[in-house]
Structure 1
Amino acid sequence: MHLSFSFGALLSWKAVLLAAFFSGLTSGAQAQNISAKLMRCVACHGADGNSQQEGVPSLASQPKIFIENQLVMIREGMRNIPIMQGVLDGVTDEELTAMATHYAALPLTSPPADRQQSLYVMGEKLAREMRCGTCHLPNYVGREQMPRLAGQREDYLLQSMRQFKSNQAVGRDTIMAAALYGASDDDIKALAYFMSRTTP
């Protein structure tokens, strides 16, 4: 017997699981509504919150408050992400909180197994010297409004740090521009490499 698989079937099962999850947090109608909204996130951020798309961050295991803040800023137009425009229109604060709770509780997949030791050590040294752990915690799992860096996609970390350094990260914490002041692009590459391969 051959089993067939389709992305549509995956989404259908995901919708059922999400509805079951949220039914324990809110009313049945609200649970269905929230799970339907979360289905919009699956295509880019992954069914389990672990992104497989270049330049798209993984949301799994991010701090709940961080996710909430980002969702509000995107909804209110304070953070401009073209592909996200309109996606959160009409989503209530309560629904955003439920979405953040969902993603914060999802487990993060293991980071890439390959490791270029010299680049990893360089990134580790830079992270220590630049005191990244002061805000993001020593194991880089993040806290409150500070994002988890450990295990995040390397390409997304690289893209974000370059935006911060060039003051292009509109709507995000400006302290990062100061934190990256004087860092070369090679430094940023090493930091992204190290963080992406660090196990939370």
Structure 2
Amino acid sequence: MRVFFLGALAAAMICGSAAHAADAAAGKEKAEMCAGCHGENGVSQTENIPSLAGQPDQFLQWQLVFFRGGARKNEQMQPIAEQVGNEDVRALGAYFASLTPPKTTAPDDNPDLSKKGAQAAVGRRCASCHTDTFAGTKAVARLAGQREEYLVKALHDYKSGVRSGGAGAAMTDVAYPLSNEEIEALAHYLAHFQ
């Protein structure tokens, strides 16, 4: 019985990773529609548009579902997400999660601001959800290396209640007491986090 269970477990793992690879391959084709805004290979070159490369699979899937259902509002994303079926949601999540996350190549031009941002991150316990490396996990976003101005916008959106869906309540609680200076510092720190 034990041998059968181990064999079944191994087969499920092989099939699961084969299915994930198939989803990622299908997602690559579907992701062509995303490149215009989110950049080639999911690395955004456009202000206030997030990079998707290296974001956790479940996080990406949930965001598409939130846009599709209207829980998360965005004039550009909602009409696109409304046309994306469940299989494509899974494929896009797998594809973007499989890509190498963006890395900041420029040196930190304001280490004092990063130091303040690191203090704000500790004070708000950001690592408790986003992990110690801010790489995110499961349905929690990757923050490390994300576009700085997008992080500022996202924190302001959470603070004002404009952004909801998923961890909206937790993020609103985190962002609401942040001053504008803390938001700027936190975004700078996370964008330059390696």
Separation of aligned partners in 2, 1:164 and 1:75: 19
Using CA pairs under 8 Å that are at least 6 residues apart, name the structure with larger relative contact order, 1 or 2: 2
What is the deviation of 1:94?
A: 1.3
Separation of aligned partners in 2, 1:100 and 1:35: 10
Q: Does 1:153 align with 2:150?
A: no
Counterpart pick for 1:85 among 74, 78, 93: 78
What is the deviation of 1:109?
A: 2.7
Separation of aligned partners in 1, 2:176 and 2:67: 26
What is the deviation of 1:114?
A: 2.8
Separation of aligned partners in 1, 2:77 and 2:161: 21
TM-score normalised by the chain length of structure 2: 0.82
Give the residue type in structure 1 aligned to 2:90.
T
Matched residues, number: 172
* Pairing of 1:127-166 with structure 2 (within 5 A): 127-166=121-160
Moved over 6 A (4+): none
Structure 2 segments unaligned to the other structure (5+ residues): 1-18
Structure 1 segments unaligned to the other structure (5+ residues): 1-21
Of 77-86 and 119-128, more deviation after overlay is shown by 77-86
Residue 192 of structure 1: aligned partner: 187
Deviation string, structure 1 residues 13-63 (Cα, Å, up to 9, x no partner): xxxxxxxxx9x617xxx94xx555322101000111000000000000000
Evaluate the alpha carbon distance shift between residue 61 and residue 182 of structure 1 in structure 2; reply closer, same or farther with a 3 A threshold. same
* Kept after mapping to 1: 8 A contact 2:67/2:81: yes
What is the deviation of 1:129?
A: 1.7
Identity of aligned residues (%): 34
Residue 103 of structure 1: aligned partner: 96
Q: Does 1:171 align with 2:165?
A: yes
Separation of aligned partners in 2, 1:86 and 1:169: 17
TM-score normalised by the chain length of structure 1: 0.80
Separation of aligned partners in 1, 2:102 and 2:78: 28
